[in-house]
Structure 1
C-alpha cells in the first residue's frame, strides 16, 4: 500500500513538473525552461526534477510531447475522414497548424528542436511522424500524379516558413495581408496547383 501511494505521488510530481514546464513555455518561451526554474515553480528542490527526468532533454521532451499531443488532436479534428474533399481538409489542416504555431510560439519552437526529436526521448518522432503521415495521405489524394512525400515535405516547409515569418511580422509587412489565409491559399496553390484544377 505504501509503495502504491509513493508511486502515485511520484507520478503526480512528474506530471506537475511537466505541467509547470508547459505553462512556463507558453508564458515566457523556451529560454525560461531551466530545471531550476521549473523546480522552483513546482515548489520542489532544484534537484528534484532529476529524480523523474535524469536529463534536461528528457524533461523538455515530456513538455514537447504535450504540444505534439495537442497539435495531433487538433489536426485529427480538422483533417479527419469525412465528406469534405481532400483539398478542403488540407486547407483546414494548414489553418490549424498555423493557428497552433502562432498561438503557442514557445511550445512550437520547443517541439521542432532537432536535438529533442533526435534524442529519442518519449518517442517524439513517433508522435510527430503520424502528423506528417496525415499530410502525405491528403496530398496523395489531391496530387496522385506526384510523389506525395516530397510534395508534403515541401508543403510542410512552406507552412513552417509562414508560421515563422508571420510570427516575426515579416509577411504582413511584405504582403500587406492582415491575416494569413491568403498566404496559406498561395502556399497550397504553389504545391497542389490552383484549387479547382
Structure 2
C-alpha cells in the first residue's frame, strides 16, 4: 500500500509534469488526481486548497532553478561573473519551462497564509534565497554610493524577468537586428548588467 508521503509526492510529480507540458492552466485538481490514479477528492487529504498544491509544485520549480544556478556558477571567479551566469540560467529556465516559470512567480495566487499548507514550507522560503543571492552579488560588484543593493537587485531582476517574458512572447525579436552567429540574449544581458552596475572594468 502506498504511504501518505509517497502519494503526496506523486501528486506533486504529476502536477510538475502537467505544468511543464500544458502550462499552469492545466493544473486542475481533478486532472492531477486522474493522472495520479486516485479519486478526485484524494488531493484534499494532503493539500487543503488547490493553491496549496500549486505552491508545492512551484517549490519544485524553485529547487530545480536553484540547483541549476548552483551548478552553473560553481566555477565562476568573480561576483559579476556569477551574477551574469545566474541571469543567463534564469533566462534559459524561463524559455525552456515557460509553464513552470509562469507559476513560480504568481505570489498573488500562491504566497499567503490561506493558501500554503499549514504543516509545509511557505513558498516564500523557496523564493527569497534566489533574491538574497542577487542582492549579495550586487553588493560585491558595486563600490559606488548608489541605491541600496536590494533596490538595485530588484531593478536588475525585474529587467531580466522582463527580457524572459518579452523574448518568450516573441516581442524582442521584432525590435532587435541579429546577425548570423549573434546571441541577442547575451547582448541584452550585457546591457542590463552595465545599466545597473556600470560597465565591466
Which has more helix, going by share of residues? 1
Between the aligned partners of 2:110 and 2:43, the Cα distance in structure 1 is 21
Give the structure 1 partner of residue 139 of structure 2: 140
Cα offset, 1:156, TM superposition: 0.2
1:187 equivalent in alignment to 2:189 = no
Between the aligned partners of 1:144 and 1:30, the Cα distance in structure 2 is 41
Instruction: Select the residue among 105, 117, 120 that pairs with 1:112.
Output: 105
Between the aligned partners of 2:143 and 2:184, the Cα distance in structure 1 is 31
Cα offset, 1:124, TM superposition: 1.1
Give the structure 2 partner of residue 14 of structure 1: 8
Between the aligned partners of 2:131 and 2:72, the Cα distance in structure 1 is 14
Between the aligned partners of 2:28 and 2:111, the Cα distance in structure 1 is 20
Cα offset, 1:17, TM superposition: 0.4
Ranges of 4+ aligned residues in structure 1 off by more than 3 Å: none
Q: Deviations over 1:59-80 (max 9, x none)?
A: 0011000001011112223335
Give the structure-2-normalised TM-score: 0.88
Q: Structure 2 unaligned runs (5+)?
A: none
C-alpha RMSD of matched pairs (Å): 1.6
Q: Deviations over 1:42-98 (max 9, x none)?
A: 111111111111100110011000001011112223335x66111111111110111
SS in structure 2 of the partner of residue 39 of structure 1: helix
Between the aligned partners of 1:138 and 1:113, the Cα distance in structure 2 is 25
Number of aligned residue pairs: give it: 189
Q: Structure 1 unaligned runs (5+)?
A: 1-5
Give the structure 2 partner of residue 56 of structure 1: 50
Give the structure 1 partner of residue 19 of structure 2: 25
Contact 1:117 1:125 in 2 (8 A): no
Contact 2:142 2:197 in 1 (8 A): yes
Give the structure 1 partner of residue 174 of structure 2: 173
Give the structure-1-normalised TM-score: 0.90
Between the aligned partners of 2:184 and 2:16, the Cα distance in structure 1 is 27
1:163 equivalent in alignment to 2:164 = yes
Between the aligned partners of 2:60 and 2:109, the Cα distance in structure 1 is 13
